[in-house]
Structure 1
Amino acid sequence: MSQTSMTSSAAMNLEKLQQCYTENELLVVRNLIHSDLDCGAFIVYLTILVDEKRLNEQIIRKINLDLSANKDKRHIQKTILQTLYSLGDVQVLTDMNEIASHVADANFVIFMDGHSEGYAMSLPGYETRAIGEPQLELNVRGPREGFSDDLQINLGMIFRRMKSSNLKAKMVQLGQESQTKVMILYLANVVDNDVLRELMRRIEAIKIKTLVDSTQIEELIQDSTFSPFPQILDTERPDRVVTAVNRGKIVIMMDGSPNALIAPSTFFEILHPSEDLYERFYFANLMRAIRLVTLFISLMGPSLYIALTTFHLEMIPTPLMMTFLSAKAGIPFPTFIEAIIMELSFEVLREASLRLPRVVGQSVSIVGALIIGEAAVQSGIVSRPMVIVVAMTGIASFTVPSFSTGISFRILRFPLMVLAANQGIFGVSVGLFLIIYHLCSLRSCGVLFLDPLGSDKWKNVLKEIFLFPVKFRKVSSRQNVKLGDSLKRPTKYLSGKEWD
């Protein structure tokens, strides 16, 4: 008989389960039947996961009352089962590994003599973070709810907003040791079935011991591992998830993570926050235009300044050029070194403000930036125009709605500065061309990352970039996108293994 098979002896089944939890003092075993009776029944659970108060008052107390009312010893097990089924959903398990997994998932299990199976019921009692506002995706208008760390609560927020029977939910467990629950949501009458099959194949191919956060899933299923750009959008807003599902997207949610993944995602979807949908369309379009300008500034601001002041002074108006030259007088470093010093100082201050307590973090970052910037100018290390350029670049980077995308532009800013210091505008143009070329080659679950740019339907391009009034917005019944070659010739890797 195998180690995982069940017997008709409750004591032997209990001994096998205890072997799975050796040296674990959190495992609790309680006898449901008095010792004077000729049968055994045990209830087993992990004390930190199960709500012991409800277990004692609602489950065990009810079983004892029913057993006291029924004096017939031949029907003890039957009475326990009848009571258990009347109290909730009971799962019948015949494998010891399944029982051990259920115990670790906030279930209690009952073993009884004469039954070669265990009876499990979920009764979670651990604390979870309450529903609050999103930390990174704040808005002025619209819903204020943000996802918590509990998957059931997050699913409830979505299904409360969307009551369609077409909303499907599939669960998979990832992580050999963690056995983490991952839920895939999609709208059956809108989703592209080819994209859904490809995404499910990638998720099921994940081989990992412990799954801690949804970031691991994102990295393992994305098309290009070494791209600086995130190809899958993450969000902590239920309303954004509902909007994405209505557009034919697939949402991946994980137990223990407040961030949901939306796939496939495009470049323009990442640039447009959910707040655009809650504002008047003309104001939302103004903000989108400003966001595109600040995106260009955050990427190329320092590199353009380096190129113009180092190689192309003739392109600067004379009064402005004289201002730059007078500010530059007495500075011992070239413009490129100035920019590197200020950019690194800004990044250090930004990182320090994230690590400091909230009470003092904002004050320290603002005061530190003012003091360091002014001291650097007064001591003649950097010029005032450089401080202005770096400050404007840093502020512009905060207008990018996606935190991960903002990090990408912060990283790419440095190689563009190197190219500008060596080749001027020509080097910046080459760097920008390579970035655009890379974006054109990127795919998100087989869908072009720059979709719908390049589409033969110009209306699709306008609808993706600009926001039209509500009565002119239409959502197609199914995505009209063509999957790329990545579906036919997959070459990406998961944990060192090639896609099947």
Structure 2
Amino acid sequence: MNFKNKKPNYSSRKLDKILYKIPEIPLSRVLNENKEILKSAYHDCSDVIFREFLIGGQTNAILLYIDGLSNTEEIDHHVLMPLIRMKCLNQDSVKEKVKNEMAISDVKEIYFISDVIKQISIGNPIILMDQQTNGFSLGLPMWERRGIEEPSAESVVRGPREGFVETLRVNTSLLRRKIRHPSFKMIQMDIGRFTETQIIVAYMEGIAESTLIQEVTNRLKGIDMDGILESGYIEEMILDRPFSPFPQLLTTERPDVAASCLLEGRVVILIDGTPFVLIAPCTFASMLQAPEDYYNSFYISTFIRWLRYVFFFVALLAPSAYVAILTYHQEMIPNSLLLTIAESREQIPFPALIEAFIMEITFEALREAGVRLPKQVGAAVSIVGALVIGQAATSAGLVSSPMVMVVAITGVASFLMPRYATGVSIRLLRFPIMILSGMLGLLGVMLGITAIVAHLCTLRSFGVPYLNTTATLKVQNFKDVLIRAPWWAMDTRPELYSSEASALRRQSPDQQPGPSNNGEEG
């Protein structure tokens, strides 16, 4: 089949049809036919190199690679030079002698046009020979990659300083350095019609439940998209409840966090092109755990965790409680403080609800501006902007001083959340609860809390209840939820994830020992 004169039509599905036909084409014995098909597929691609040469001075061959993805120095030294200088061969032995002549450790045989396209796209050069129905894929990829650095979003005072990068095989090697047992398995698949992004499903054989592994792979295989450019594409496509504001998958840039989750029986999804990996399943408690909790003393980690829980509720409810009390329940405020608040609000033309909305939206805008600006000026703009705008708004009589203080405390509390997705969920839910508090007072706040808890009770992450660790009321389950127990006390794996715990759950209740959580993040 010859695609030489077929131009892609981007206004229809014609391009899709042409590309979908390519995987059905086997390599031809006639080298020129293979060359025409590949040149038609890669027309207007100046970076795709077709190098024609003679093997041993008599057999026509083509070396095909993409400039910038393959190691050209190694190609010249270990491929072209030895093959061109080979002695004369007969056609029956050319394939084996060519394979043995190249000083390359990774040489694979390919038989279809689709294999050629896939291999050169990941940086492996291809050799096609005349009168041969197969070609050779040479493991000589080389492209610019970012060095291993400390993740900026998950920095810790004590702990490993290395983070994942955008190169998939570098990330798998970081995990393999930490887990050296052959039970550590990796399943590879390609997702995306045009990007064919490499995805790795990593798990511990014998620890992770087989049903969880099967469910993860089935959901990934069901994804049908043009391309996968970041882990967020995958996350949104495999969620149990995509309309929930709460994250249902853990994301991390830290190999130590991913390794600890693997040892618990969870599944880690690595995506080529992004340093963020996905971890399934997750619970509400894991969203409030930080890697540093497991590197400090257990009493220090427990104190910080309690502080985190307290400020979680402060970040969610502080503005709503202030609006409700100030609007409907003034009797709850001490007289001296009530007089101070009344004096500060004497010139304010807006009710407390509108005042809170003005400050919250302004603060969120400043926070986003600080994230988008360059790092050198982002932090300064967000902090100085908040101070200047807060002071100017107070002087102009738009907001009161107590409201500025409440919003500032709420913003600081949201920064204590170890997961960015958790902080975003709190920021989103804060506004509807504020509306309820402005309409119904503390009754509206309680209605909002009840709705959130009811939603969390119905939420699942790959079949695991979101509130399971806190709802079961087992003392053993709280070893790594409300507190961080000493390592010598956490002697079993979490009952939610591992196959060992699953076997225990199938026993009768009087035979079941109480399993504990063994460090959900550490």
TM above 0.5, yes or no, is yes
Q: Which residue of 2 aligns with 1:214?
A: 231
Out of 238, 253, 259, the position equivalent to 2:255 is: 238
Out of 418, 439, 452, the position equivalent to 2:469 is: 452
Distance 2:95 2:269 in 1: 42
Distance 2:474 2:407 in 1: 40
Moved more, 2-11 or 420-429: 2-11
1:39 Cα deviation from its structure 2 partner: 2.5
Q: Which residue of 2 aligns with 1:330?
A: 347
Residue 409, structure 1, aligned to residue 430, structure 2: no
Q: Which residue of 2 aligns with 1:31?
A: 52
Instruction: Answer whether contact 1:248 1:479 (CA < 8 A) is retained.
Output: no
Q: Which residue of 2 aligns with 1:8?
A: 29
Residue 384, structure 1, aligned to residue 401, structure 2: yes
Question: After superposition, where does 1:177-192 map in structure 2 within 5 Å?
Answer: 177-192=194-209
Q: What one-letter code is carried by the residue in structure 1 that aligns with 2:76?
A: N
Question: After superposition, where does 1:350-389 map in structure 2 within 5 Å?
Answer: 350-389=367-406
Q: Which residue of 1 aligns with 2:135?
A: 118
Distance 1:216 1:16 in 2: 32
SS of 2:304's equivalent?
Answer: helix
Residue 299, structure 1, aligned to residue 316, structure 2: yes
1:481 Cα deviation from its structure 2 partner: 5.8
Out of 272, 275, 279, the position equivalent to 1:255 is: 272
Q: Which residue of 2 aligns with 1:83?
A: 101
Distance 2:298 2:212 in 1: 31
Instruction: Answer whether contact 1:455 1:461 (CA < 8 A) is retained.
Output: no
Q: What one-letter code is carried by the residue in structure 2 that aligns with 1:252?
A: I
Out of 351, 357, 360, the position equivalent to 1:343 is: 360
| Contiguous gaps of at least 5 residues in structure 1 | 483-500
1:181 Cα deviation from its structure 2 partner: 0.4
Q: Which residue of 1 aligns with 2:71?
A: 51
Moved more, 345-354 or 115-124: 115-124
Distance 2:180 2:58 in 1: 51
Q: Which residue of 1 aligns with 2:295?
A: 278
Instruction: Answer whether contact 2:197 2:272 (CA < 8 A) is retained.
Output: yes
Q: Which residue of 2 aligns with 1:314?
A: 331
Out of 59, 62, 76, the position equivalent to 2:82 is: 62
Instruction: Answer whether contact 1:247 1:475 (CA < 8 A) is retained.
Output: no
SS of 1:40's equivalent?
Answer: strand
Q: CA separation of 1:270/1:481 partners in 2, compared to 1, >3 Å: closer, same or farther?
A: farther
Instruction: Answer whether contact 1:11 1:40 (CA < 8 A) is retained.
Output: no
- Residue-by-residue CA offset, 1:250-287 (whole Å, 9 max, x unaligned): 00000001001010001111110111000000000000
**TM-score (ref. length: structure 2):** 0.88
Instruction: Answer whether contact 1:140 1:275 (CA < 8 A) is retained.
Output: yes
Q: Which residue of 1 aligns with 2:450?
A: 433
SS of 2:194's equivalent?
Answer: coil
Q: Which residue of 2 aligns with 1:42?
A: 62
1:71 Cα deviation from its structure 2 partner: 4.5
Distance 1:176 1:475 in 2: 43
Q: CA separation of 1:320/1:480 partners in 2, compared to 1, >3 Å: closer, same or farther?
A: farther
Out of 22, 25, 31, the position equivalent to 2:43 is: 22
Residue 443, structure 1, aligned to residue 460, structure 2: yes
What RMSD over aligned residues (CA atoms) do the two structures have, in Å? 1.7
Residue 202, structure 1, aligned to residue 219, structure 2: yes
Q: Which residue of 2 aligns with 1:144?
A: 161
1:23 Cα deviation from its structure 2 partner: 1.9
1:299 Cα deviation from its structure 2 partner: 0.3
- Residue-by-residue CA offset, 1:411-466 (whole Å, 9 max, x unaligned): 00000110010000000000010001111110000100112222263321343331
Moved more, 70-79 or 300-309: 70-79
Q: What one-letter code is carried by the residue in structure 1 that aligns with 2:67?
A: T
1:479 Cα deviation from its structure 2 partner: 5.6
Distance 1:122 1:234 in 2: 31
Instruction: Answer whether contact 2:158 2:296 (CA < 8 A) is retained.
Output: yes
1:95 Cα deviation from its structure 2 partner: 1.0
**TM-score (ref. length: structure 1):** 0.92
Distance 2:135 2:42 in 1: 16
Q: CA separation of 1:460/1:376 partners in 2, compared to 1, >3 Å: closer, same or farther?
A: same
- Residue-by-residue CA offset, 1:334-391 (whole Å, 9 max, x unaligned): 1111111111110111111111111111111111111101011111110000000000
Q: What one-letter code is carried by the residue in structure 1 that aligns with 2:28?
A: T
Q: Which residue of 2 aligns with 1:493?
A: none
1:77 Cα deviation from its structure 2 partner: 4.8
Q: Which residue of 2 aligns with 1:161?
A: 178
| Same amino acid, percent of matched pairs | 36
Residue 99, structure 1, aligned to residue 116, structure 2: yes
Distance 1:56 1:64 in 2: 10
SS of 1:120's equivalent?
Answer: strand
Instruction: Answer whether contact 2:57 2:88 (CA < 8 A) is retained.
Output: no
Distance 1:101 1:72 in 2: 30
| Contiguous gaps of at least 5 residues in structure 2 | 2-20, 504-522
Distance 1:93 1:373 in 2: 66
1:11 Cα deviation from its structure 2 partner: 2.1
1:238 Cα deviation from its structure 2 partner: 0.1
